Amino acid sequence: MISFATDKLLSFLNINFNFIDQRIIMKDNYLAAQRVYNQHIYNPQFSNPEDVVKHMVAMQAQDYAGAKWAVALRMANTSEEVIEQAITDGKILRTHLLRPTWHFVSPQDIRWILALTAPRINAINAAMSKKFELTDHIFAKSNAVLEKALAGNKQLTRPELVNVFEQAGIATDELRFTILLMRAELDQVICNGGRVGKQFTYALLDDRAPLMPALTREEALTKLTLGYFNSRGPATLHDFANWCGLTVTDAGIGLEYVKLQLISEVIDGRRYWMPNNTKEMPSPKTKAYLLPAFDEFAIAYKNRDALVNPKYLKQARHVIFDPAIVVDNQVVGTWKRTLKAKSVDINLNLFGPLNKAQEKAVEKAISSYRKFLFP
């Protein structure tokens, strides 16, 4: 039997827990809504794919098909063909850039970002290079071989480059080939070219990106930091460090450079930085998006709880790896596509029920994706 005093205590605790739950939900909704807005998912306005990439500074692109859709989500109207053509034409480049993994980046930005991030990535890769007995001498030789093979605006596929290395007496077994190519990317020798069928090619960076005045480390760190918080805020210092792959110390130095150009807010003991032109969000309206795996809405933050409906944190623990269904700015499920000759089937895995307005919004999101693939 529960005493009157105990009953009052339980009632008091229940009220306070409900208050705390509501505060967490309100905080998460605020963060997610602002991020969707600043990443231009809520309000896609860009007319060119290269403008999206320029605004975002760099966009993770290891899932190539998904990365093209990530660009499209931030545009008012486009198709997969338009984005593919921008990549073929070199208006968007793809290379190992941050952490390290594949990223889309602007030709005007690739050199200063690599100059900033490559030393740390090479340090991270040093143990693997040593394991496969890849020395600076071998890297210099492989870079020279690539420069000769790709001269004259040539673009070669991976199998073609394997042959080039083997003819030059450079071993490509196991992971050596991948390490050699990544080092050449980080050394600003090569980047992706256009595709041949479904095969990726490599081209000389000098043929794909204009020579730009070199930035000082302070200038580059300032530009990267400001670009991140303007496109992804509200975000914390640790979010930024996790995204760019620099040390927290270096990320903090970058933040010191740009603090006066941003605004900040402390929420639950964490300081979030965001653009100084952050506005009140428009009145709530049910919207849904089909996000690709590794979209910047998820990958750009170290703590991703704010992106997921609190009821579904367990189901969405792999949110960065799975294509996500976002409704009212929060992940409520995952999706998969089955591509056919002239159509695409979309299979939804919802974590819970949706109301009619939300179902209609998801249907609209599916329609947008189909139109992207088959205009």
Instruction: Give the model's pLDDT for residue 282.
Output: 59
Instruction: Give the model's pLDDT for residue 327.
Output: 95
- Predicted structure pTM score: 0.91
Tens of pLDDT along 127-172? 999 999 999 999 999 999 999 999 999 999 999 999 999 999 999 9
Tens of pLDDT along 238-288? 999 999 999 999 999 999 999 999 999 999 899 999 999 866 665 567 999
| 323 close to 292: Cβ distance less than 8 angstroms | yes
Nearest-angstrom CA–CA distance, 102 and 253: 25
- Which residue, among 329, 321, 320, 326, has the nearest Cα to 351 in the 3D structure? 326
Q: What are the extents of the domains in the chain?
A: 49-208, 217-275, 283-373
Burial class (CB within 10 angstroms; exposed 0-12, middle 13-18, buried 19+) of 239 = buried
Would you say domain 217-275 falls under CATH 3.30.1950.10? Answer: no
Burial class (CB within 10 angstroms; exposed 0-12, middle 13-18, buried 19+) of 261 = middle
What tokens does 248 get? 């927290």
Instruction: Give the model's pLDDT for residue 279.
Output: 65
Confidence of residue 23 (pLDDT cuts 50, 70, 90): very low
Confidence of residue 176 (pLDDT cuts 50, 70, 90): very high
Tens of pLDDT along 81-109? 999 999 999 999 999 999 999 999 999 99
| 102 close to 200: Cβ distance less than 8 angstroms | no
Question: 28: Cβ–Cβ under 8 A, 6 or more apart, which residues?
Answer: 305, 306, 307, 310, 330
Tens of pLDDT along 44-60? 989 999 999 999 999 99
Residue 166 — φ and ψ, nearest 5°?
Answer: -65, -40
Tens of pLDDT along 186-230? 999 999 999 999 999 999 999 999 898 999 999 999 999 999 999
Confidence of residue 25 (pLDDT cuts 50, 70, 90): low
Confidence of residue 323 (pLDDT cuts 50, 70, 90): very high
What tokens does 16 get? 């306070």
Nearest-angstrom CA–CA distance, 367 and 375: 11
Peptide bond into 234 cis (omega under 30): yes
Nearest-angstrom CA–CA distance, 134 and 348: 45
